[in-house]
């Protein structure tokens, strides 16, 4: 049985094409189509139903030390009101999941991928040990709307008394949105300026409809994927998984080996860093019109070295782009290799990431 988000009825009523995704029935696109939705986010503002994401609360005296132990980034560097991108790792240093960590005055919250909620929860609970913490999986109680695009602040500001101009990148605050209690963060998965609006599940539709009435276009999973790929943001299950370490994925910056606390996977990553990685995640562009899809074979030096991890035609660039892992000595800008598309090999070249650099994200704020 597929789960439904609080906005399921709204999506169906407005003509969304619904598909199974991460155990939920989710909108992949609306009548306007993926290309129009993608461009709406790049030019104006779009709203995404991401209520399928998971949220875990951690309270108690040992909350900071506990989350420091189960995540790779440095929770000690977080101040109240800040957000941090991080990872939950296996003892081998590979990904259980990537996550974001929110710090509040009296608690921490981990936001995890929808497909991994049960696995992540089991992992977190299994490593509680003697820590004086209370763990609560609040995923089913929380609604979550993402608002992304250069006009995001202008669209949201009339709906809240919060001073959005004062909310910095990777920061969060609390206050009403469209008359409902909420807390708002400023991060994103598209490269554009934007916000995440967390609320009680029953208030999700009121916030969503207010944003739609304010001119924000509903965006499905299809455009969400092409938007994040243009920025080369990692997707669990494609670019990262339990066979990949952050060092191989180019995410070494979320691994703090010197944070003064031992975390799960630290020993394995120390060893890998000392030896050097044998492969690296790269971004590439295709020559010609062939479109790389997830799982297509990747060839270099006369042998298959990996598969396409993520791939699509870029709406903003007008050519096909993708990601894959290449041997470390070949993971250089300009390296040429081949992607097998329906039994035929097509040339590709390693290029700089992100693929598209015109986003409005306020990273300096």
Segment 185-209 shows an average pLDDT of 98
CA–CA distances in Å: residue 48 to residues 18, 144, 265, 330:
14, 9, 33, 37
CA atoms within 13 A on the CB side of 117: 19
* Separation CA 17–CA 19 (nearest Å): 7
What DSSP character marks residue 201? Answer: G
- The class that CATH gives domain 279-365 is mainly beta
CATH code for the part of the protein at 8-52+140-230: 3.30.1360.120
- What is the per-residue pLDDT for 362? 72
Residue-wise pLDDT tens digits, 132-160: 999 999 999 999 999 999 999 999 999 99
Where do the DSSP E strands lie in the chain? 17-21, 24-29, 46-49, 54-59, 83-89, 95-103, 108-112, 134-137, 142-148, 172-174, 182-185, 194-200, 217-219, 279-286, 297-300, 303-307, 310-313, 320-327, 336-341, 344-351
- How many alpha carbons fall within 13 Å on the CB side of residue 180? 23
Q: Which two tokens stand for residue 289?
A: 């019109």
Domain ranges of the chain: 8-52+140-230, 279-365
pLDDT tops 90 at residue 217: yes
Q: Which whole-number Å values give the CA distances from 333 to 282, 299, 327, in the listed order?
A: 9, 16, 13
Q: Counting beta carbons within 10 angstroms of the beta carbon of residue 267, is it exposed (0 to 12), middle (13 to 18) or buried (19 or more)?
A: middle
For 334-359, how does the pLDDT look when each residue is reduced to its tens digit (9 = 90+)?
999 999 999 999 999 999 999 999 99
Residue 251 has pLDDT above 50, yes or no: yes
Which residues face 338 on adjacent strands?
A: 299, 347
What is the reported pLDDT for 365?
44
Same-fold call for 8-52+140-230 versus 279-365: no
Do residues 20 and 179 touch, judged by C-beta distance below 8 A? no
The 10s digit of each residue's pLDDT in 25-59 is 999 999 999 999 999 999 999 999 999 999 999 99
C-alpha to C-alpha distance for 88 and 126, rounded to whole angstroms: 13
Q: What is the overall mean pLDDT for the chain?
A: 97
Q: pLDDT band at residue 301, thresholds of 50, 70 and 90?
A: very high
What average pLDDT does range 234-252 have in this prediction?
98
3-class secondary structure, 12: helix
Q: What is the pLDDT of residue 364?
A: 52
Residue 28: the pLDDT is 98
Task: Name the one residue in this structure whose structure tokens are 């409809």.
Answer: 209
Distances (CA, A) of 151 to 195, 256, 361: 11, 35, 11
DSSP, collapsed to helix, strand or coil, labels residue 351 as strand
The half-sphere exposure of 341 on its side-chain side, counting CA atoms within 13 A, is 17
Residue 228 has a pLDDT of 98
Does residue 39 sit in helix, strand or coil?
helix
What is the β-pairing status of strands 83-89 and 297-300? Answer: unpaired
């Amino acid at each position: 049985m597929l789960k439904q988000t609080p906005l399921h009825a709204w999506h169906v009523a407005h003509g969304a094409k619904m598909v199974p995704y991460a155990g939920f029935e989710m909108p992949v696109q609306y009548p306007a189509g993926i290309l129009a939705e993608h461009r709406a986010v790049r030019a104006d503002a779009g709203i995404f139903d991401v209520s399928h994401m998971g949220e875990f609360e951690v309270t108690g005296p040992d909350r900071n030390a506990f989350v420091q132990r189960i995540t790779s980034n440095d929770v000690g560097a977080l101040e109240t009101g800040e957000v941090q991108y991080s990872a939950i790792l296996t003892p081998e240093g590979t990904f259980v999941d990537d996550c974001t960590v929110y710090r509040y005055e009296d608690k921490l919250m981990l936001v995890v991928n929808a497909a991994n909620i049960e696995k992540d929860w089991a992992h977190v609970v299994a490593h509680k040990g003697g820590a004086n913490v209370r763990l609560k999986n609040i995923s089913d109680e929380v609604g979550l709307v993402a608002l992304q695009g250069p006009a995001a602040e202008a669209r949201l500001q009339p709906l809240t008394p919060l001073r959005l101009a004062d909310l910095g990148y990777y920061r969060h605050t609390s206050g009403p949105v469209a008359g409902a209690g909420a807390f708002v963060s400023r991060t994103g998965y598209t490269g554009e300026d934007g916000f995440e609006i967390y609320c009680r599940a029953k208030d999700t539709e009121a916030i969503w409809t207010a944003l739609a009435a304010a001119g924000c276009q509903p965006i499905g999973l299809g455009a969400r994927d092409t938007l994040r790929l243009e920025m080369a943001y990692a997707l669990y299950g494609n670019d990262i998984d339990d066979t990949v370490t952050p060092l191989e994925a180019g995410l070494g910056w979320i691994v703090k080996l010197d944070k003064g606390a031992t975390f799960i996977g630290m020993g394995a990553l120390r060893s890998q860093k000392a030896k050097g990685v044998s492969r690296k995640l790269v971004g590439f562009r295709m020559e010609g019109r062939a479109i790389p899809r997830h799982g297509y074979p990747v060839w270099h030096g006369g042998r298959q070295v990996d598969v396409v991890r993520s791939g699509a035609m870029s709406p903003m660039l007008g050519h096909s782009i993708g990601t894959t892992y290449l041997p470390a000595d070949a993971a250089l800008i300009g390296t040429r290799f081949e992607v097998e598309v329906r039994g035929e090999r097509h040339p590709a070249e390693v290029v700089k990431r992100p693929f598209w650099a015109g986003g409005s994200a306020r990273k300096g704020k």
